[in-house]
Structure 1
Amino acid sequence: MIVRIMGEGQVRLDDSHLTELNKLDDELLAEMESGDEEGFHRTLGSLLGAVRRLGDPLPDASLEPSELILPSPDATLDEVREMLSDDGLIPG
């Protein structure tokens, strides 16, 4: 799976990591629903950190279609809320 972090670039991420990422996505969704902005920023950082750690960066010149687009680390709660689907940021 190709994942784009807005403002950073793309990484290739094995589907086997989706379970770990979905747990963080569920936490993020709960924090958004409760308006916990501090928790939201902490969990967003953890989610993006996990994607960076588990994924292999693609070269900047590579323009692969992204299957998943994640917000930048400095995204606001409202900006991320606009990106959400019923499943959160990560489907499944």
Structure 2
Amino acid sequence: MIVRIMGEGQVKLDDVHFTELNELDDDLLREVESGDEAGFRRTLSTLLDAVRRLGTPLPDDALEPSELILPADEATLEEVRELLGDDGLIPG
């Protein structure tokens, strides 16, 4: 799966990593819904770090369609709230 982190670029992630990422996404969804700013900041950072660590960066000139788009580290709670679906940022 190709994942884009807004403002950074794209990484290729193997599907095997989505269990770990979905757990973080579930935490993030709860924190956004409850307005827990500190928890939101911590979990968003942890989620993005996991994507960077587990994924393989694509070259800057690669223009692959992104199957998943994640907010940048500096995204606000309100901005992420607008991006969330019923399942969070990561479907499944």
TM-score category, normalised to shorter length: over 0.9
Gaps in structure 2 of 5+ consecutive residues: none
Q: Which residue of 2 aligns with 1:90?
A: 90
TM-score by length of 2: 0.99
Deviations 1:18-68 (A, max 9, x none): 000000000001111111001101000000000000000000000100000
Runs of 4+ in 1 over 3 A off after TM superposition: none
CA distance in 2, matches of 1:30, 1:81: 11
Q: Which residue of 2 aligns with 1:21?
A: 21
1:3 is matched with 3
Q: TM-score, normalised by structure 1?
A: 0.99
How high is the sequence identity, in percent, across the aligned residues? 77
Q: Which residue number corresponds to residue 73 of structure 1?
A: 73
CA RMSD of aligned residues (A): 0.4
Consecutive unaligned residues of structure 1, counting only runs of 5 or more, are none
The match for 1:58 is: 58
Secondary structure in structure 2 of the residue aligned to 1:89: coil
Please give the alpha-carbon distance, in whole angstroms, between the structure 2 residues aligned to 1:35 and 1:8: 26
